[in-house]
Every structure is written in C-alpha cells, then in structure tokens.
Amino acid sequence: MPTDVPNRAKIEGRYNVLIVGAGYSGAQAAAALRQNQFPGSIAIIGEEPDYPYERPPLPKDYLSGEKAFEHILVRPPAFWSEKNIDLSLGQSVVHVDPKARRVRTREGATFGYGSLIWAAGGAPRRLSCAGGALRGVHSIRSRADVDRMMSELPDVRRVCIVGGGYIGLEAAAVLSKTGKAVTLLETAPRVLARVAGTSLSRFYEEEHRAHGVDVRLNISVERIEGRNGRASGVLVAGRHVVDCEMVIVGIGIDPAVGPLLRAGAQGVNGVDVDALCRTSLPSVYAIGDCAAHESQYADGQRIRLESVQNANDQAMTVAKVLTGTPIPYQAVPWFWSNQYDLRLQTVGLSSGHDLAVVRGEIPSRSFSIAYLKEGRIIAFDCVNATKDFVQGRKLVEARARVSPRLLADVGIALKDLRADIAA
Ligand SMILES: Cc1cc2nc3c(=O)[nH]c(=O)nc-3n(C[C@H](O)[C@H](O)[C@H](O)COP(=O)(O)OP(=O)(O)OC[C@H]3O[C@@H](n4cnc5c(N)ncnc54)[C@H](O)[C@@H]3O)c2cc1C
C-alpha cells in the first residue's frame, strides 16, 4: 500500500450508504451524494490500494509518462476526509447478505448497509491458451498493471498486442511512438469491429500501419511461447511465431458481479438494473461497467456500457435516488479515444446501422461519420471534428431524420440541419 494512503482496513460498522468499488463510478457516486446534501454516513470499499483514479489515461498519457499518478486521481486525497467519506482500501468484498444487509471482505471485515451501491467494474479477460500466465504477459486495467509494464519496458524491443479494441490501439500508439516494434493481432476482419463502422476501422488500421505498427487481422492466438518463465513470442494460427519480449492482452472484461449474483441478484452479462440503477435485491444498486440497463439508444435492449459517461451518469442517477429526487437514467452514450494526434469522439451507438455517411474527407484526418438506421440518425464517430460531435449529439438524442445528401455536405453545420428534421 502506498505510504500516503491511510490504512482504513480496520473501519467496520454500518453505513447508510456502502459503496463497493473505489473506481470512477463509486467515487463519483459518493461525491454526488455529498453534493446533493446527503447527510448520512458513506463508506467506499475498494480492492485496489490507491485513492480512486481515472482509467482512461492509463494506456495514453500515463503509459507515455506524460501524466503522473497524482494527476489522474478522481479527487485530491484530502477530499475524502473533508467530505466525511470513509475509504477502506485494499479490501475485496466476497460475500453479500441481502437479508442482514451486510457484506464481508476477503480480509475478514464485515460492513452493514442501509443502501448498497455495487460499483465494482470488471476484471480483464485473460487468454485461455497455454502461456497466458507467463511473466511479460500484461493487461491494462489498473495502475498496478501499467506500473508493472513500465518497469519492464526498458528491456523490451518488441511488443505483441492481442486485441484491436480501443485499449489495444491506444497502447499501440504510445508504444510505437516510443520506438518499440509493435505487432497488433486481431481475430476479427477489422479493428474496432464491435463498436465502429467499417470505414472507421479501415482508417485506424491505415493510421497504425503508417506509424509502423504491424496490424494483422483474422488472426487467432494459439499459445504464448515462453523462455525461462517469460513470454518470448505469440504462436498464431498457421504455426507462425511473432517474436516479442512483451505481450499486452486487450480482449475485454468480465463484469465483477460474482458476490451479487451469488446473493440472488439477476443478471447474465453483469448485473441487471432498472432506469434508477436498482438491482433485483432490495436497496442494492449497481452502476458503471458492471451494470446492464435497457437503453433507448440500443432499441430498448439490455446493454453494459464501459465508458466514463455511463459511470458518471449512473453515479448521478443513484445519488439522486438516494436523496429523494429520482430521475431515470436516459443519457446518450458518448466516448472518446486518443491515438497519435487523432481525437476520436463518439456519440450514440452505431451497431445495427444500415447506412453510414461520411462528412468530410477521410484522408484529411478530420471528418465524421454519421450512422443511420431506417432513415434516422443513431450515432456519430468524429475524428478531429469536435464541432460535429457537439452538434451531432442533439441529432442522435432526437433520432433525427435527415437527408443523407445534406448530412454529407460539410458546408452545412450539423446544428443547421435541424431545420431539415422530418417528423
Ligand atoms: C485502460 C482503460 C482505458 C479507458 N479509456 C477510456 C476512454 O478513453 N474513454 C472512456 O469513456 N472510457 C474509457 N475507459 C472506461 C472507463 O474507464 C470505465 O468505464 C470506468 O472506469 C468504469 O468505472 P467503474 O467504476 O464502473 O469501474 P472501475 O473504474 O473499474 O472501478 C471498479 C473498482 O472496483 C474494484 N473492485 C472490483 N471488485 C471488487 C470487490 N469485490 N470489492 C471491492 N472492490 C472491488 C476494482 O478493483 C476497481 O478499483 C477506459 C478503461 C480502461 C481500463
């Protein structure tokens, strides 16, 4: 445990609000409760030893060394005691008793609650193949993960990244910029296949290749080769070995909801919540990456979002509920990703689109893509095009019906297209 973090592991007792998970959503929920004048006792139990911090910088400016850890904290350390929020760090909740309204930690402490907010995020998926646990194989979920990687990097010349999602691509950008030889392996026929349209995937593949990253698609990993207990290469289908000294695995997370589901909460992919973030257990709420809600932006389907926007807005929702002013969660999803000098901002959810309209010239590296379904706008991906992101958001919220021809005309600002919205 870092010396500047008080060891509060001995704090036990009954809290009006007990939060499990000292990550972004847990921290924001506690802060929002105080902002909304919640007078009762609040404690946060967190598995990690650190004060709550933001994860987005981990594969970006924290990995590149441009941001120190104290600059990625959600709040300054003094905030928590000033707001009378108890932090119990380095403890993992393993059991929830919804009848007695108590939780127990692996370390043996018991905490009672009036209301429980489950904000435990998720654990990075590991490779199930042989060699997945060798030294030199890393995930990027926590500060500790990145610190471990950074301590090894001086001895690393070649990095193999498994997974072409946002985290893998961001790490590829930082590491290739620092001179490492980076190979990126993706099982799907394109990067970002789960979250973006084909044109955006192709654009990012080309950008990474232009920066020297060896992007390989349609490739599955058979095993990690090792030498003296350390990863030395990745064997891919076809019996070819990609030699490397470090492997980074970015293949998604498994929501951390085991204790809640064992206590009887409903959920398949994470834990199910309603529009007020209530689980099926009495007085138990769930927020952030681990919570599955029905989204109007996904045609009412139950989805889990892994984004700062969702973590923050669900934290606000639960704080409002617990201070007597419930407002159902309906926020439009948005996200960002920084790679090289490209700032991608997305709004809405593009999956299921039947038409993609490009605004601007993709080679200019400043453009946006509008996604439509049955004639209505459902999402925008904006690359170095913040104005479109800001203005497009309203069109997504309205599920506006806009002529594709007008949408493609960069001479017309998106805000002026509203006049062309047909009912
Ligand atoms: C590397 C990375 C880059 C990202 N980049 C972006 C980005 O650019 N833009 C964006 O919008 N989003 C990004 N995200 C997503 C965003 O950071 C998450 O959506 C957000 O952190 C979710 O907050 P959370 O509170 O749900 O989970 P987390 O922040 O993961 O916090 C959960 C906490 O709960 C703890 N915990 C788990 N189980 C237990 C237990 N049983 N007992 C006690 N504590 C427990 C965990 O250790 C963790 O500290 C990124 C995420 C990662 C990992």
**Residue closest by Cα to atom 4 of ligand 1:** 56
Give residue-wise pLDDT tens across range 377-402.
999 999 999 999 999 999 999 999 99
Q: State mean pLDDT over 349-360.
A: 96
Minimum-distance ligand 1 atom for the alpha carbon of 315? 25
Mutate to test the pocket of ligand 1, among 289, 305, 343, 381 (most ligand atoms within 8 A of CB): 289
Which residues contact ligand 1 via a Cβ below 6 A?
A: 20-26, 45-48, 55-56, 58-59, 92-93, 119-121, 140-141, 167, 256, 288-289, 306-309, 311, 335-337
Q: What stretch of H or E contains 207?
A: helix 198-210
Write the CA distances from 299 to 294, 295, 407, integer angstroms.
8, 7, 23
User: What is the CA(139)–ligand 1 centre distance, in A?
Assistant: 13
Residues 6 or more apart in contact with residue 131 via CB below 8 angstroms = 137, 223, 224, 225, 226, 231
Least confident of 3-7, 64-68, 97-101: 3-7
Burial of 39 (0-12, 13-18, 19+ CB in 10 A): exposed
Decide if pLDDT at 289 tops 80.
yes
Q: Could you please report the per-residue DSSP string of 380-393?
A: EEEES-HHHHHHHH
Which conformational region is residue 360 in: left (phi greater than 0), alpha (psi within -120 to 50 degrees), or beta?
left
pLDDT tens figures, 31-58: 999 999 999 999 999 999 999 999 999 9
Q: What is the CA radius of gyration of the chain?
A: 22
CA of 413 to the centre of ligand 1 (A): 35
- Token pair, residue 217, equals 């698609």
Q: Compute, in angstroms, the gap from residue 304 CA to the centroid of ligand 1.
A: 13
Q: Could you tell me the distance, in angstroms and rounded to a whole number, from the CA of residue 271 to the centre of ligand 1?
A: 15
Residue 335 alpha carbon, nearest atom of ligand 1: 11
Contact 250, 161 (CB under 8 A): yes
**Residue 165 pLDDT > 70, yes or no?**
yes
How does pLDDT run across 306-337, given as a tens digit for each residue? 999 999 999 999 999 999 999 999 999 999 99
| Spatial CB neighbours of 419, under 8 Å, sequence gap ≥ 6 | none
Residue 112 pLDDT more than 80?
Answer: yes
Interval 346-374 mean pLDDT: 97
| Closest atom, ligand 1, to C-alpha of 45 | 43
- For residue 10, the model assigns a pLDDT of 43
Residue 73 C-alpha from the chain's centroid: 16
d(CA 317, CA 117): 12
The atom of ligand 1 lying closest to the CA of 21 is 34
- Phi, psi for 305 (deg, rounded to 5): -105, 140
- Spatial contact of 273 and 279, defined as CB atoms under 8 Å apart: yes
413 vs 422, higher pLDDT: 413
Which residues fall within 8 angstroms of residue 141, CB to CB, at 6 or more apart? 55, 58, 122, 123, 124, 253
| 193 CA → ligand 1 middle, Å | 22
What residue's CA is closest to ligand 1, atom 27?
121
Q: How far is the CA of 315 from the centre of ligand 1 (A)?
A: 13
The percent of residues above 90 in pLDDT, for the chain, comes to: 94
Structure tokens at 96: 């929830």
Q: pLDDT of 175-232, one tens digit each? A: 999 999 999 999 999 999 999 999 999 999 999 999 999 999 999 999 999 999 999 9
Q: Which atom of ligand 1 is nearest to the CA of 124?
A: 53
Using DSSP bridges, classify how beta strands 221-227 and 230-236 pair: parallel, antiparallel or unpaired.
antiparallel
CA of 401 from ligand 1 middle (Å) equals 35
CA of 192 to the centre of ligand 1 (A): 20
Which tens digit of pLDDT belongs to each residue from 219-263? 999 999 999 999 999 999 867 999 999 999 999 999 999 999 999
Centre of ligand 1 from the C-alpha of residue 372, in Å: 30
Q: Atom 49, ligand 1: which residue's CA is nearest?
A: 23
Give me ligand 1 centre to Cα 140, in Å.
Answer: 11
Which secondary structure element, helix H or strand E, spans residue 65, and what is its range?
Answer: none
With a threshold of 0.85, does the pTM exceed it? yes
- pLDDT of 6 over the 50 cut: no
- Mean residue pLDDT of the chain comes to 94
| Helices (runs of H) and strands (runs of E) counted in the chain | 9, 25
- What integer pLDDT is reported at residue 12 of this predicted model? 67
* CB < 8 Å & 24+ apart, contacts of 123-126: 123/253, 123/254, 123/256, 124/249, 124/250, 124/251, 124/252, 124/253, 125/249, 125/251, 125/252, 125/253, 125/254, 126/249
Ligand 1 pocket mutation pick from 307, 318, 335 by most atoms within 8 angstroms of CB: 307
Q: Which of 169, 249, 308, 339 to mutate to test the pocket of ligand 1 (most atoms within 8 A of CB)?
A: 308
Q: Tell me: pLDDT of 7 over 70.
A: no
Q: Determine how many CB atoms are found less than 10 A away from the CB of residue 149.
A: 22
Q: Which atom from ligand 1 is nearest to the alpha carbon of 334?
A: 11
Q: Is 37 helix (H, G, I), strand (E, B) or coil?
A: coil
Report the nearest-CA residue for atom 41 of ligand 1: 93
Atom nearest to 26 CA in ligand 1: 25
